[in-house]
Amino acid sequence: MSTPVLWQFRSSHFNEKARWALDWKGIPHLRRSLLPGWHVPRVMSLTRQTKVPVLVRDDGEVISDSTRIIERLEALQPDPPLYPADPAERRRALELEDFFDEELGPHARRVFFFEALDYPDYVVSLFADGDRPVMRALYRAAFPLNRAVMRFAMSIDAPHAEASRKHVDAALERLETELRPSGYLVGDAFSVADLTAAALVSPLLMPEEFPYPWPPIPEPVARAGAGRTWAGPRSSGPPRCTGVIAAVPPRWRRSRARCSWSTTSAPWRATTPGRTTACWTPAAA
């Protein structure tokens, strides 16, 4: 496959889902990072809607939505597979992908931002670290407006956050009960179901294997999540994993670490600051 361009947010779990699929398949690609809020004109012009990830292929094909991106990658490059070969297992994997897309992704995001948006420096760091200092300063200055838009657009308020916590708990409980003795969600191999669940829980787990650094989490945000929803970054002490969340990291590590090291080290750092990153997967697992 020629070199596609992934238009993305760095700190975003749906974008992580698409990145992980590209990395899993070993597809060299270029990442163009956008700043949330300021992304709209570019993404609109590409897709007539505003959400990332968006994958643009050399031949001009534009694919938006992480599920459709994975479907297309699977068709273009079936190996290594993310869809199980067995039809019944494939149906189950796609059904679980859909479930986590709907029941975990948006709710984990809301729960996280409900706590984090009170700390603009932290959120700006999440979104804009890796950009040029002047860009970060401008983005920080404009952030109050951006935050208001985020709260409105994603219904980030106390009642919705409380309801979303229940969705996250239920989704993680399902994750726990659906796990097979193999440690995977479908059959005995890593599939799109595992990738989706693990990528979408990233705002709550802040795993080290995420390909961009997590800025230090403000103590009140860490406290708010402790023992309830998220784990907190490893640097802030022992992981605060409880209950079902504790079950996720080992599987995450096994599969994400296998393909992400090249993106966490040389290429990303070599192009910082900046918003374009060349990514490829090492030959060795």
Question: Contact between 71 and ligand GSH (CB under 6 A)?
Answer: no
Pinpoint the alpha helices (H) of 117-157.
120-128, 133-141, 143-153
Question: Contact between 203 and ligand GSH (CB under 6 A)?
Answer: no
Least distance (Å) from ligand GSH to the CB of residue 238? 28
Choose between 10 and 240: whose C-beta lies nearer to ligand GSH: 10
User: What is the C-alpha end-to-end distance of the chain, expressed in Å?
Assistant: 20
Directed axis angle between helix 105-116 and helix 13-24, to 10°?
130
Least distance (Å) from ligand GSH to the CB of residue 42? 11
Q: Which of 6, 7, 10, 12 binds ligand GSH (CB under 6 A)?
A: 12
Question: Measured between alpha carbons, how far is residue 244 from residues 50, 86, 189, 205 in Å?
Answer: 33, 28, 21, 12
Choose between 43 and 222: whose C-beta lies nearer to ligand GSH: 43
Is 73 within 8 Å of 26 (Cβ atoms)? Answer: no
Select from 50-58, 169-177, 216-224, 273-281 the region that touches ligand GSH (CB under 6 A).
50-58
Question: Contact between 232 and ligand GSH (CB under 6 A)?
Answer: no
Q: Which of 5, 42, 57, 67 binds ligand GSH (CB under 6 A)?
A: 67
Choose between 65 and 209: whose C-beta lies nearer to ligand GSH: 65
Choose between 35 and 179: whose C-beta lies nearer to ligand GSH: 35
Least distance (Å) from ligand GSH to the CB of residue 274? 21
67 vs 97: CA distance, rounded Å: 8
Q: Which of 6, 52, 63, 200 binds ligand GSH (CB under 6 A)?
A: 52
Beta strands 276-279 and 62-64 are unpaired
Question: Contact between 196 and ligand GSH (CB under 6 A)?
Answer: no
Least distance (Å) from ligand GSH to the CB of residue 66? 4
Select from 6-14, 116-124, 162-170, 186-194 the region that touches ligand GSH (CB under 6 A).
6-14
Question: Contact between 108 and ligand GSH (CB under 6 A)?
Answer: no
Q: Would you give the DSSP letter of residue 212?
A: S
Burial class from Cβ neighbours inside 10 Å (0-12, 13-18, 19+) for residue 204 reads buried
Choose between 9 and 24: whose C-beta lies nearer to ligand GSH: 9
16 vs 204: CA distance, rounded Å: 13
CA geometry: angle 248, 254, 192, nearest 5 deg: 70
14 vs 17: CA distance, rounded Å: 5
> Which residues make up the interface to ligand GSH (CB under 6 A)?
9, 12, 14, 50-53, 65-67, 101
